[in-house]
Amino acid sequence: MGNVSIEEIVNQVLAEIEKKNGKQTVQKSSPPSKETIVFSMDKKVGVDKPRKREAIDKAQAATPARIGIGRAGTRMKTDSLLKFRIDHAAAQDAVFKDVSEDFLKEYGLPLLKTKAESMEEYLMDLDSGRRLNEESAEWIRRNCPKNRQVQIVVADGLSSTAIETNIPDLLPSLMQGLELKNITVGKPIFIKRGRVWVQDEVASLVNCDVIISLIGERPGLATAESVSAYLVYRPSEKTVEADRTVISNIHKGGTPPVEAGAYLADVLEEVLQLKVSGVKYAKARHRSDVQ
């Protein structure tokens, strides 16, 4: 793609679709921000004279995968190719575009950073996204409340689009759920170019019981808007991946963000009661259900 922006790709694709069909077949809605464009594309069966049209319709309704798009010779049809280009451009845009500072200010999220000074470094050097830079670590020491039960971290991860799309509903829902349960919460923070393991350092700085990270998932061609929640009880240098509880696929086509926030509050309450997370948490819940 080079340095071509998603807007340029989209305009090219729209022009090609209009030229091919003699009319606009992709509806462009009012953009929620200067850098975001939203498209609505209805699925259609591209197979010529399908023997079992109902089976294709059922399969398309069950998955966002490209099913029943048909082909022209050995290649996909033009419409399918153009839609593929739009989805691919959106996925790249989600990775390389930053969460806007206006968005962070609107939701009261202080901007902190890892040691990854660029997205290229973040992608090539995994450890760079797992440690805070010195300025951010010092900011947390000076400004974040200590000794709370829960600390919330928001991180762009591999999709800024996922954060800007879901956090407006996910974060308030989670905060409200924790408040109703009388669980004390530290000041939510945003970490730019953060990976999951950066939560361990944050937890050590604020001395919380449980830390939860809401992080943008790697975008695919089905969606670039999915968020995952990673939480861990009292992480230390001995913490491994099996110690983390993960709830993924949070987006409008998966678990809706409002519903996910309420569910995460329930999970955090249980983790605090059981004093374990990850595999140990799952085993403890299973024992409880059996009894």
Domains of the chain plus CATH, in order, are 6-96 (no CATH), 101-290 (3.40.50.11240)
Kind plus residue range of the DSSP H or E element containing 60: helix 53-62
Q: Can you give the pLDDT at residue 283? A: 93
46 SS3 class: coil
The three-point CA angle 125-198-141 to 5° equals 125
- Token representation of residue 3: 């340095």
- Which amino acids are annotated as binding site, given as ranges? 196, 217
Q: What is the pLDDT of residues 126-151, one digit of tens each?
A: 899 999 999 999 999 999 999 999 99
Q: Is the torsion defined by CA of 203, 209, 215, 217 positive or negative? A: positive
CA distance 215 to 180: 24
pLDDT score of 49: 77
Residue 191 DSSP SS3: strand
E-assigned strands of 93-251?
Answer: 111-113, 150-155, 189-192, 210-216, 227-233, 245-250
User: Residues at the annotated binding site for adenosylcob(III)alamin?
Assistant: 196, 217
The amino acid at 152: I
Report the DSSP beta bridge partners of residue 143: none
| Under-50 pLDDT residues of the chain | 1-2, 23-40, 88, 91, 94-96, 221
As a whole number, the mean pLDDT across the chain is: 82
CB 270 within 8 A of CB 260: no
> Is the model's pTM score more than 0.75?
no
